[in-house]
Structure 1
Amino acid sequence: MNAPVQTPLASETAAFPIPANVFAETVTEVKHYTDRLFKFRMTRPASFRFRTGEFAMIGLPNAEKPVFRAYSIASPAWDEELEFFSIKVPGGPLTEHLQKIQPGDTVLMRKKPTGTLVLDALLPGNRLYLFSTGTGIAPFAGVIRDPETYEKFDQVILTHTTRELAELRYGQELVETIKTDEFLSELVGDKLLYHGSATREGEHKGERITTLLETGKLFTDLGVPPMDPATDRAMICGSMEMLKETASLCERFGLEEGANSKPGTYVVERSFVD
């Protein structure tokens, strides 16, 4: 096995030419939540268009051939900046270096976004469930801040499951921000419900989202009826195991998977960071 190559700082872009299909953007904010999780914001290219919930391929200018990974865009389509929520992976080809970025550093992003966690991939409905674990909450950070979501659904339910309580903070901040935002608070009103659970501590200890769905406790906790394919829609984002199990449960409730080419009653995202 070859020894790891010593890489320069993220801000050192001059040594490497930027490919024509890649944007080079400037980090504007970094916030670390735990020793495993952080978010960052960066400038948005004037020509960059995306649908809320899509992901982009991002990397760092720290190698002759930068490593790119799929990251859900956590900001809504109207935001003037781009936000991302990331895990820190020791030794990860990208996150080992990405977690060290500072405002002023450069992040690379390929110009074409894509993804299935978009409203266009769902049939019309009354209630939208957003099932997430860990950094899988990222695309939903944009969805719950997009006015179109509340134009299409009467109720939006964001569930976020993590291992520890501190890892829920990003999602809790999002909900708090919406409630205090002059425009969004009036638009959203009481349409947004949030259910956060940490499997290793707190009142929901040991309760994975699949357990909450199987037992029906999620619906009891939220005061809503069980999922009904006639009215309910779902988006799912998390680990591969969580995707499979939650999708299976959605299908038990009668929901059918959709895609951009054929909208359905639930959708999943199958792209991950390293």
Structure 2
Amino acid sequence: MQTVTEQSVPKVPTLPDAQTITHVKHWTERLFSFRVTRPRSLRFRSGEFVMIGLMGDNGKPLLRAYSIASPSWADELEFYSIKVPDGPLTSKLQNIEEGDEIILRPKPVGTLVLDALLPGKRLWMLATGTGIAPFASLMRDPETYDQYDEVIMMHTCRDAAELEYGKQLVESLPKDPLIGEFVGDKLRYYPTTTREETAHMGRITDNLKSGKVFKDLGLKDGMSPDTDRAMVCGSLGFNMDVKTILEDFGLREGANSEPAEYVVEKAFVG
């Protein structure tokens, strides 16, 4: 009779391109963030996204585009996600725990990168909901502050609880031992809500068109293509509305191959 040794017992294979969950935090009933191990071979620019997911019930990978919320220098990868009860992926992804595995395809792409913008003095980051994820990466990258004198993070959600992820991040950055000296007083935060009564109300589009945000921040009314640069991440409708506003200010859309005054993330989901 053949003796079964440790070497002869087949190992249970892990998922293809598998990475291990190292931390999960549920911010609200609709929002959560998580960190995973980083593939040794992965190189990315802050602001890019990758495909992540789980195995579907049919045994095939179920993948979606997710912006990497951690900066390019981080040891782990962070993601920020909405929970969709009947969503093919997020209905399962929201139940992950530390030690679980997810699929991560290490081929980063995206337009929300500093290289896609021409040099400028002021950078506007315009996001709704989980669209703040790529900016969570860029706000933690020293290069952002090397290139701009001022960085303005405009973020809009329905209520204050949904702003908490971004709020805690922004408040921590000036005191961060790694990049605090780069951030200094360059980063300005302008959160607004559309349902719950808070200090600043209204949609990003309305606050830009009315000039309220410029007045509140003590800036000259409007943006100028000579000094202002912008990055946009939200729903398709939001992206299109903001594009119109930015182009009314004279800004042109850029890309990796042809940098200009603003860029839009077209692959954002959520």
- TM-score class, shorter-chain normalisation, is over 0.9
- What number of residue pairs does the alignment pair up? 258
Partner of 2:224: 228
Taking a change above 3 Å as real, the CA distance of residues 204 and 135 of structure 1, as seen in their structure-2 partners, is same
Shift of 1:176: 1.6
Q: Does residue 239 of structure 1 match 2:214?
A: no
CA distances 1:86-142 after superposition (whole Å, capped 9, x unpaired): 000011110000000001000111121100000000000000000000000000000
* 1:158 paired to 2:147: no
Structure 2 contact 160–198 (Cα < 8 Å) conserved: no
How far, CA to CA, are the matches of 2:216 and 2:20 in structure 1? 42
1:103–1:62 CA distance, 2 compared to 1 (3 A): farther
Residues 134 and 119 of structure 1: CA distance in aligned 2, closer, same or farther (over 3 Å): same
| 8 Å Cα contact 1:69-1:272 kept in structure 2 | no
Match 1:179 to one of 159, 166, 174 = 174
Q: Distance in 1 between matches of 2:219 and 2:99?
A: 45
Other-structure match for 1:48: 42
In the alignment, is the contact (CA less than 8 A) between 1:25 and 1:109 conserved in 2? yes
Whether the 8 Å CA contact 2:15–2:103 is kept in 1: the answer is: no
Q: Does 1:58 align with 2:63?
A: no
Is 1:35 the equivalent of 2:29?
Answer: yes
Matched ranges for 1:16-165 at <5 A? 18=16, 23-63=17-57, 64-165=59-160
What secondary structure is seen at the aligned counterpart in 2 of 1:151? Answer: helix
Structure 1 residue 15, shift from structure 2 partner: 6.4
Q: Report if aligned partners of 1:199, 1:205 keep a CA contact under 8 Å in 2.
A: no
Q: Secondary structure in 2 aligned to 1:83?
A: strand
Q: Offset at 1:180?
A: 2.0
Indicate conservation of the 8 Å contact 1:128/1:232, yes or no.
yes
Q: Is the 8 A contact 2:145 2:183 kept in 1?
A: yes
Once the two structures are aligned, what percentage of the paired residues are identical? 57
Gaps of 5+ in 2: 1-10
Secondary structure of the corresponding residue to residue 137 of structure 1: helix
Q: Is the 8 A contact 2:112 2:263 kept in 1?
A: yes
Task: Choose 60-69 or 189-198, whichever is displaced more.
Answer: 60-69
Counterpart of 2:202, as a letter, is E
- Matching residue of 1:260: 256
Q: CA deviation at 1:164?
A: 1.0
In 1: Cα distance, 2:164 partner to 2:132 partner? 11
Deviation of 1:205 after TM superposition, in Å, equals 6.7
Render the CA deviation track for 1:17-40: whole Å, top value 9, x for unaligned. Answer: 52xxxx210001100111100000
SS at match of 1:270: coil
Opposite residue 248 of structure 1, the aligned amino acid is: T
Distance in 1, matches of 2:198 and 2:45, equals 36
Who is 2:268 aligned against? 272
TM-score by length of 2: 0.92
CA distance in 1, matches of 2:197, 2:265: 28
Contiguous gaps of at least 5 residues in structure 1: 1-12
What is the rounded CA distance, in whole Å, between the counterparts of 1:234 and 1:133 in structure 2? 14
Task: Find the aligned partners of 1:232 and 1:74 in 2 and give their Cα distance.
Answer: 23
Given the superposition, is the C-alpha separation of residues 202 and 239 from structure 1 closer, same or farther in structure 2, using an over 3 Å criterion? same
